[in-house]
Structure 1
Amino acid sequence: MRLINVKTLEIEIFAESTVPDYAILSHTWEDEEVSYQDMSQPGASEKQGFRKLQQACRLASEQQLGYVWADTCCIDKTSSAELSEAINSMFHWYRSAVVCFVYLSDLSSLDHDQGPNYEDLKSCRWFTRGWTLQELIAPATIQFYDKNWTCVGTKQTLDDPLHLITKIDKNVLQDGRRITQFSVAKKMTWASGRQTTRIEDMAYCLLGILDVNMPLLYGEREKAFQRLQEEIVRSTHDMTIFSWKTEDTSVLYSGLFATSPSQFIVHPNMEHFSSTANQEQAEFSVTNKGIKLSSRLVKSPESPLHYILPLPPFDSGPFTKITGIYLQQYSANSFVRANPHRLYESRMGLRPLVTQERVLYALKAVDDNLHESISAPSSFLIDFQLDNHMQIRKVVPDSLWDRHHRRRLFVPPSGSRQAVVFVEIGPRENTPAFSVQRLRTQRRMNCMLLLSFVDGATVSCDYVLLDKSRHGELFIQNVESLTEARSILMFSWKGKDDFRVNMCEEREWSLGKRRFETSLGPGEDTRSPLILRLFERVSRGGPGTCFCM
């Protein structure tokens, strides 16, 4: 650690175990600040920033301290390794200082018998900078000085205006060690409205506040704040990290991570956090597939497409009020945040329907291309609209099935190893012998399907079962012989020897048939389930995707 000797105004280096008592300077950077390299040059004392160092050393000497630390000249910023280490250590350095001198260069001299009030302090630039947030919280003792270096108060005597300006809880202002009692979302709100010169520093200046460490990568821009949230997830199970919303109501989907501290909002019951409380919180972690969550979801009462991921605190009583974020499934076991401009807040009432606990993956971020893809009609989603006579009994693999809403199937894309999906559709009681069903894809393809029941038959070849005649014959169609329909495709059954596919363009194909012999033993059910097999066989540029019965 580099420190300025208050007598010689020269920089000395100390190992961590030998660091002496020191004062620390907090200020806003201005023109002609003195760098580490400048301190060894004869012209350093002529720079405007040198006077701040002189005054800080004078105050430290008056308080029987031999050293001062200042961020302008005690870090060699030409060394990326040293800069990264210093920024990761800065909260600790401010906390370990005997006293912190806060220099408010734009605070005019006042009647110091009364001291500055809220109106005097709120216009000071020091309260708008990102780096000064930790410099206010970490030190145990802070002395505030106006532009003439006259002391105008301490953190304890000015706690009322400081609280009003910064929104930081007075308990934290009185004792910075109490910061661990507050949630991630609450800490983020303290940084709301503050600025940094470099985009990345908006994340880096919060490392100490959030008790995480990470390397610095200048040039990554907004990704720095995403990396910060990843590190938070790795070190805590505080789900309030997802308690944020955007101001842009036109954004339909997003990842689970915010893009700025200003997006965070905190309800009164989310302000505090205890590592031993809220054991019902979801287990979550960062993976290469997104954020892995093991959680119970709440079915949204507002939309059949949405779920609610509850945020703490959790109430297990018969009556509860839930706050959470909206999730929408967009592919097999993958989710995005929906309606990111709002949080879900239920009215007080009966506990809503909660799904079984499951493991799911939610994206950390959604780029423009993915947002457009999710928003546009999808060719990989089939929405089952079955009448009351039919029910879906089983889907294999289960990961492709939206099992909570029980009607949507995510078809794997081209090239997927999961090229075949089985759906078992069975009759309910008192079901007619024949039932017309509808499958609707989000690509505007409508299929009117005439369903009947397979008498004990199984399909284990690369064909799709279409129908069964009244005489016990099964009509099998080769998938590759069916041309893609981009609008309406209708299957019509007119008789044993006449199964036709009618297109919007009024073209017709008589499909080849294969006889599939079946046999039933005495007493066997003649209305066993129909097996739906979905194929995605053709890559882009070919005939396209076919969904067949």
Structure 2
Amino acid sequence: MAIMRTNIFNDFPICLLAFNEKGSEIELIERNETWRRICIRMKRDFSTKFDFQTAELGGEEEAIQEFNSSCSKFAILSHTWIQDTPGEVTYADWKPTKVDKSSRGYQKLANFCRVAAIDYGVTLGWMDTICINKESSSELDESIRSMFKWYSYAEVCVTHLADIMTVDNMRHDTWFTRGWTLQELLAPSYTKFYNAEWKKIHSHWKGDLEDEDILREIQAATTIVKDELTMNLLDIPISRRMQWAANRRVTRAEDTAYSLMGIFGVSISTAYGEGPQLAFIRLIKEIIASKHDTLDIMNFGYGNKYPSEKSAERSGRITASSLVPLSPKQFLWSKPILWQRSTTPITLTHLGLHVSVLLIPGISITNLPDESRPIGRYFGTITENFLNPNNDITSGTFSLLESCIYEKPISSTIRREAVLFFAVFNFYETATTVEIAPRDSLCYAKALIPVELHLSFDLEDILSDTSKLRMLYTPQPTFFTLQSVNEESYFIIPKPDLEKHGMFLRTMYL
């Protein structure tokens, strides 16, 4: 009994629709009433399911678990809200004797209850339009934070596609464009799709996410492939999950962030009115604090649009970091990070993202002396596009670790804008060594440029105060391949030797 009660008050939705085996006589009940009804049912039915007199030792516990499983099932509805008036039946509207049963909103509710009862033998259901009391801020907050869990615990997720009739045009349904329905696609263990007339799109017994025709339509609508639907979500890169949300729409702007909590396994409080960027930054901060693949948070770009001064000023009050995205849309320009090991902690502070980097200088090939050579054993080139405030894209090719950058005195022809620092993030640090992405893997970096204008380039001055470096905006993240003059296949460098090869280990706020 204690296990069952804990289950009801911790894992069940706050409110549920209760109905009979035909899906009629619909009521709206809360957890206390759900628990009361289960207790009555247990007293009435338990003895008929289990004979204590003839039971073997341990059988009572098994019977209780079986009963708990059978009476704690609920169906859950995934749908898009009716935008016309009158629309959905809400918690505030629910008066069974007065509600307009001919309205589209009530017909949807009734069809859901009917399907849950007749098709799946379930007499409890959850529907967001009516089962959330939005006048209670605490209940709304708990519901939003718990929604992913409720979808995952449901016996069946009934998904109503109100715009289509057959599998062939599933991809065109509005359901695939909404923000909240992404988690409703990913969370349930068993999903069945119903068309505009509340008929099953497929009549087979298996879950619809196992059907090849439906999977093909889902991929066309969302880019999500079969393997991603069966994987543990937390094993899928952060940037990939963000891409799924990039083009989805929400009614309340903050819901872009709130609807992603379950998908990233984090929880933040809801605060409507805070604005979408602040909500998203709080989500990102929780992800950074709890996930092992935090490097992927920085795997985003800007497309062909330079952040305007007004936008930068507005976002500056939200985060001081240029390495933190302000929207899932920025991950549309991410690239797969094939090798993203990092052993140093990354934290988001008022000064920016506190992160360890390996600084690798590079010089523009247009300023490269005729006789060029790497300073140590490693070399590489980067061709990158940079955004400027006029929304023009300029390209540059830089040769890394060239000896001329480190010479004293530095050639007067090497000017400040000719040298960039590339801050590499995906390296593995031990007490004595640094391991860099091996051959045929990619180093993930951001391009940094000295803030102050100098007539000549001063390497020591910059390295003594890395706060003098600022990040350059790029359409996509920067990746490059580092190579060795000795054709090594694996790069493990003792820390005392880093500077000999022209590299500098620093901890920075970016």
Say whether residues 1:258 and 2:392 are aligned partners. Answer: no
| SS of the residue 2:419 aligns to | coil
1:180 positional shift: 1.7
Deviation at 1:316, TM superposition (A): 4.0
Q: Deviations over 1:230-285 (max 9, x none)?
A: 11111113211111111244348872111221211443445xxxxxx954354211
State yes or no: 1:123 paired with 2:172.
yes
Which of 231, 234, 240 lines up with 1:186 in the alignment? 240
1:344 to 474, 478, 481: 478
Cα 1:20–1:245 change in 2 (3 A) is same
Aligned counterpart in structure 2 of residue 10 of structure 1, from 20, 27, 48: 27
Task: Tell me what 1:136 maps to.
Answer: 185
1:300 is displaced (CA, Å) by: 4.1
Native 8 Å contact 1:309 1:326 kept in 2: no
264, 268, 277: which is aligned to 1:214?
268
Tell me if 1:33 matches 2:88.
yes
Instruction: Give SS of 2:264's match.
Output: coil
1:70-149 correspondence to structure 2 within 5 Å: 70-108=127-165, 110=166, 116-117=167-168, 120-149=169-198
Q: 1:119-151, CA deviations, whole angstroms, 9 ceiling, x for partnerless residues?
A: x01211000001000000100111111100010
Residue of structure 1 in register with 2:122 after alignment:
65
| TM-aligned CA distance change 1:41 to 1:57, over 3 Å | closer
Describe the SS at the equivalent of 2:142: helix
Aligned length, in residue pairs: 346
Contact 1:225–1:259 (Cα < 8 Å) also in 2: yes
Which residue is equivalent to 2:249? 195
Contact 1:146–1:152 (CA under 8 A) maintained in structure 2: yes
More helix by share: 2
Contact kept? 1:4, 1:10, Cα under 8 Å:
yes
Is 1:310 matched up with 2:367?
A: no
1:290 aligned residue (341, 344, 352): 352
Higher relative contact order (CA 8 A, sep 6+): 2
**2:209 — aligned with what?**
155
CA distance in 2, matches of 1:312, 1:225: 27
Instruction: For residue 209 of structure 1, report the CA deviation from its aligned partner.
Output: 0.5
Q: Tell me the secondary structure at the aligned position of residue 45 of structure 1.
A: coil
Q: Using the TM superposition, give the Cα deviation of residue 96 of structure 1 relative to its aligned residue in structure 2, in angstroms.
A: 0.3
Distance 1:329 1:2, change over 3 A: farther
- 2:75 aligned to 1, 9, 23, which one? 23
Q: Secondary structure at the match of 1:144?
A: strand
Within the candidate set 94, 97, 102, 1:42 is matched to 97
Q: What is the correspondence of 1:213-232 to structure 2 with a 5 Å cutoff?
A: 213-221=267-275, 222-232=277-287
Q: Matched residues in 1 for 2:470 and 2:256: separation?
A: 25
Structure 1 residues 33 and 250 mapped into 2: Cα distance closer, same or farther (>3 Å)? same
Higher strand proportion: 1
Aligned residue for 1:296, secondary structure, equals strand
**Structure 2 counterpart SS, 1:76:** coil
- Cα separation, 1, equivalents of 2:344 and 2:361: 16
Of 305, 325, 328, the residue aligned with 2:446 is: 325
TM-score calculated relative to the size of structure 1: 0.58
TM-score, length-scaled by structure 2: 0.62
2:295 equivalent to 1:246: no
Deviations 1:62-105 (A, max 9, x none): 11101010010111111122111111111100000010011011
**Alignment partners' CA distance in 2, 1:354 and 1:186:** 34
Letter in 2 for 1:147: A
Question: Distance between the aligned counterparts of 1:279 and 1:257, measured in 2?
Answer: 19
Where do 1:393-408 residues align within 5 Å?
A: none
Distance apart, 1:338 and its partner CA: 1.6
The offset of 1:322, in angstroms, is: 2.0
Same amino acid, percent of matched pairs: 30
Q: How does 1:530-545 map to 2 (within 5 A)?
A: none
**Contact persistence 1:237–1:284 (CA under 8 A):** no
Amino acid at match of 2:159: V
Query: RMSD in angstroms over aligned alpha carbons?
Result: 2.8
1:482 corresponds in structure 2 to none
TM-superposition CA deviations, 1:177-230 (whole Å, max 9, x none)? 621211111110111211111111111111110111001111111211111111
Asked whether the equivalents of residues 282 and 296 of structure 1 are also in contact (C-alpha less than 8 Å), the reply is no
CA shift, 1:13, in A, is 1.4
Q: Is the 8 A contact 1:237 1:283 kept in 2?
A: no
Task: Report the structure number with the largest CA radius of gyration.
Answer: 1
Cα deviation digits, residues 335-374 of structure 1 (max 9, x gap):
6432242321225634796633322112xxxxxxxxxxxx
Deviation at 1:289, TM superposition (A): 2.1
In the other structure, the counterpart of 2:62 is: none
SS of residue in 1 equivalent to 2:217: helix
Cα distance in 2 for partners of 1:49, 1:300 equals: 62
Matching residue's letter, 2:443: I
From 205, 221, 224, the equivalent of 1:168 is 224
Q: Distance in 2 between matches of 1:188 and 1:21?
A: 31
Contact 2:153–2:188 (8 Å) recurs in 1: yes
Q: Give the corresponding residue for 1:267.
A: 335
CA–CA distance in 1 between the matches of 2:99 and 2:291? 45
* 2:509 matches 1:356: no
List runs of 5+ in structure 1 lacking aligned partners. Answer: 111-115, 271-276, 363-549
Contact 1:200 1:225 in 2 (8 A): yes
Alpha-carbon contact 2:133-2:139 (below 8 Å) kept: yes
Contact 2:422 2:445 in 1 (8 A): no
Distance 1:179 1:189 in 2: 13
Residue 172 of structure 1: how far off its partner (Å): 3.1
Cα gap change, 1:292 to 1:300, in 2 (>3 Å)? same
Partner of 1:395: none
**Contact 1:325–1:337 (CA under 8 A) maintained in structure 2:** yes
Q: Secondary structure at the match of 2:261?
A: coil
Match of 2:52 in 1: none
State the secondary structure of the residue aligned to 1:291: strand
